[in-house]
Structure 1
């Protein structure tokens, strides 16, 4: 079984920094042979504010946009979420995308690459609480990217080489935990 990891771009703002960061993560990850990696851009999955009539935990999605999003997330064994920090938290669009689903997230590993004035650390901490409720295993390693040191003019991403070790460790952990959690995902896959 090949482990599949989705790298989610957690911002949809015009001129967002997240796309550059996610492409860097993808470029580094793509050199690995222990998993397959795919960029998942929330711009490609336009989700209105949560508009499902039933709780996501029931898995009875009514809207086509939800079913499309659910199918994409279900196809992965783990995730790297690339998040900005807005007002000491993650982006509204990423939180909304997470809230749409339940079973599709469960028993999967997740790691965080964050960016912002304080490196996005507070956004990742909020995400850890959110994903815990969804039965996701968040890995310890985090990549924290400061707008002051890793971006030219706060907008052109130029990561220092020292970030590669942290990213490598994060990917190691996400792949290892995604692999370890595979037996827990099997019953859900066979019921579908």
Structure 2
């Protein structure tokens, strides 16, 4: 049995939990605090408040969400795409998908590593996190065009991503403002 606190004792003395040090240059006192090593960092669970929209979602019919459970999922590829100049959300989404698939190779489908499954049976599901005010500008067909193979069975666009400032407006690059668009992508691969 390990003795209590023998592992947690520092090799040097620590000040008491609250000590006051007088600054020699002024009459201000500074308080240093050392939290107890045994107390939890959070004393209560942190929960997000439920909005009226979230509460109403439960009474509505279920929406198809990626990944679709009927597909045998093998792995998930994730990526981030940016459009720093030109304010084109489709370009950001295409880059996010390209980022997700660009550092992967899937030899299992071509080599028959999965018994009874051929390359033609690869199925893709795509989930894109796109800033809500820009979702209506997204060209899904262009996004689909970056996938070289696999049947795209479903694409889901959800609130996500980010609109932030690129810090500069470059008219020569098509900028209308300083906005930078960021899209997140999850590509689900299965059969």
Fold in common (TM above 0.5) = no
Identify the structure with bigger relative contact order (alpha carbons < 8 Å, sequence gap 6+).
Answer: 2
Greater helix fraction, Structure 1 or Structure 2: 1
Q: TM-score, normalised by structure 1?
A: 0.28
The TM-score, its normalising length taken from structure 2, stands at 0.28
